Amino acid sequence: MTIRRRLTGAALVLAAVALAGCSPAIGGAGQPVPPGDSVQWVSGNAEGNGAEPGTGDLAAAAGSSDRESTKWVQLSVREAGSLAPVVANGAGLTLYRFDKDGSSPSKSSCTGTCAETWPPVLVAPGGRIFLDGLDRSTVGLVQRPDGMLQVTIGGWPVYRYSKDKRDGDTNGQGSGGTWFGIGPDGKKAQDAKKQPGVAIVYDGKSLYGQAQGVYGPGCRDLPRPGTGASIRVLGVPIRIWSGRGCTGDSAGIEGNATDLSEIKFAGRVASIRFADPATQAGRGDSVIVYDDKNFDGDMQGTSGPGCQDLPRPGAGSSMRVKGGEVEVWSGADCTGDHTRVDGEASDLSAIGFDDRIASVKFGVSES
Closest C-alpha to 102, from 186, 173, 172, 18: 186
Q: What is the mean pLDDT of each run of 10 residues along the chain (367 residues)?
A: 34 31 39 66 84 87 75 89 88 94 95 95 93 86 91 97 93 97 92 76 83 83 90 82 92 85 93 72 66 82 82 90 84 92 89 94 66
β 128-132/40-43 pair status: parallel
Closest C-alpha to 198, from 277, 310, 99, 88: 277
How is 234-251 classified by DSSP, letter by letter?
ESS-EEEEEETTTEEEEE
pLDDT recorded at residue 33? 64
Cross-strand partners of 243: 247
pLDDT recorded at residue 29? 52
* Cα→Cα distances 84→191, 232, 320, Å: 7, 11, 25
pLDDT recorded at residue 162? 94
Strands (E) across 182-293 are located at 198-204, 208-215, 218-221, 230-234, 238-243, 247-253, 256-257, 271-274, 286-292
Angle at Cα 165 formed by Cα 162 and Cα 167, nearest 5°?
125
**92: Cβ contacts below 8 Å, ≥ 6 apart:** 4, 6, 8, 11, 13, 78, 166, 167, 168
- Specify the pTM: 0.61
Cross-strand partners of 80: 83
pLDDT recorded at residue 255? 72
pLDDT recorded at residue 260? 94
Q: Report the CATH superfamily, name and number, of domain 193-361.
A: Crystallins (2.60.20.10)
* Element housing 116 (H / E): helix 113-117
How is 150-193 classified by DSSP, letter by letter?
EEEETTEE-B--TT--STT--TTTTGGGTEEEB-TTSSBP-BGG
Q: Where are the domains of the chain?
A: 40-181, 193-361
pLDDT recorded at residue 298? 77
